[in-house]
Structure 1
Amino acid sequence: MSKPKIAVVIGSTRATRFADAPAEWIAKLAAKHSEWEVELVDLRDYPMPFFDEAASSLWAPSKNEAAQRWQKKIDEFDAFIFTASEYTHGPTAVLKNALDYAYTEWNKKPVGFVGYGGVGGARAIEQLRLHAIELQMVPVRTAVHIVWADYMAVKGGTKLSELEHVNQAAEDMLNQLSWYTRALKTARDADLATADVEAA
């Protein structure tokens, strides 16, 4: 079995976003788990318009070039971690839009979340879990919630790596993500092998 690849998706594109701090921090923690390769994926590099295709990519190929690049990129990975800021009790529009612009590329892959905001992005993450399930993903139980006090501490110069409770949640989430990554990749590889035999 080839080495799994995990994407840390930066779920905000605002010029003044906080997302880089948790994304880089969780990517470094994930990289300590030697069983997978880790890559930061920035939505700024995929400037997709608000969804305006004829149909979901499940039913019809996307015409937008950025969307096509996005789908190819997502297809490379075996697992995902999304940074999730919370706006008006929900995830960013740009992250939801990115989810909508792919379908089969998400299927049967696990996902974890690093949220931040007044309640640690909890409401945004709960909505993202529902979206993930509809995309046939497997959201892990534990998420990382960077609450307002943590956020202000980081803005004041504290490093996320210095916040013990945040790091403990991250390790729990990564351990769960690791298990599901191995299990689901094994199952997907077996499906591909079966399909190849049937096609022969």
Structure 2
Amino acid sequence: MPDRILVFYGSYRRDRMGIRLAKFLVARLRDRGADAELIDAQDVGLPMLDRMYKEHEPGTAPEAMEKLAAKIKAADAFVFVTGEYNWGPQPGLKNLTDHFLEEWFWRPAAIASYSAGRIAGARSSFTWHGTLSEMGMVVISSTLAVGPIADTFDADARPIGPMGEGIERAFGRFADDLAWWTEAAKIQRARKPPPY
């Protein structure tokens, strides 16, 4: 049975470049046999956080939240694609993830960051690592950092030029690391129920 991996993306900007990285990751994970799906915060369209999923009475959460909760619970692993806004992740990505908590527990997460410049979203990646850990995920040590993103992918999310060649080389280790932790977490969850 293939690993079920959700790839989250959270920019709401008109000219979104990071979606190219998200689509690249989904395609490459599928090439490796994973059941990968892009979750675009803009498409999901959750409101600014008022009530978390768990704060709704069973069956009363908004439909988009209910559907996403089911997908998160069924997933084996997560990839978060984060751009850098003033040293932090996009508010759309943070808002989407904050609607859930226990749904994330006991699964691995990976971070792929990007920016328009050469820093490649590294500061956002650093910030996001602590956030995901606090939300109950095991964050893998391998990361992808893409920048400048416009020099790395074309409009169809295909890697281009030397930067694109670099991301192709880096992807293998990133995916191998995520696959190892995904398998380890699956085995452990089957062997022993989580402690809470």
The amino acid across from 1:184 in the alignment is: A
1:158–1:11 CA distance, 2 compared to 1 (3 A): closer
Counterpart residue number, 1:51: 49
What TM-score does the superposition give when structure 1 sets the normalisation length?
0.83
Counterpart residue number, 1:179: 180
The amino acid across from 1:26 in the alignment is: L
Q: Which runs of 5+ in 2 are unaligned?
A: none
CA distances 1:125-175 after superposition (whole Å, capped 9, x unpaired): 111110111111011111111112x53354699942652221222211110
Counterpart residue number, 1:140: 140
Cα distance between partner residues in 2 of 1:155 and 1:161: 6
Partners of 2:154 and 2:160 within 8 A in 1: no
Cα distance between partner residues in 2 of 1:147 and 1:45: 25
1:33–1:48 CA distance, 2 compared to 1 (3 A): same
How many residues align? The count is 187
**Equivalent residue runs for 1:123-162 within 5 Å:** 123-148=123-148, 150-152=149-151, 154=153, 159-160=158-159
Cα distance between partner residues in 2 of 1:51 and 1:11: 14
Structure showing greater radius of gyration is 1
What TM-score does the superposition give when structure 2 sets the normalisation length?
0.84
Q: Please state how far the C-alpha of 1:191 moved relative to its aligned partner.
A: 3.2
Cα distance between partner residues in 2 of 1:84 and 1:72: 23
Q: Percent identity?
A: 25
RMSD: 2.4
The amino acid across from 1:51 in the alignment is: L
Q: Which runs of 5+ in 1 are unaligned?
A: 193-200
Compare 166-175 and 87-96 and name the one that shifted more: 166-175
Counterpart residue number, 1:32: 31
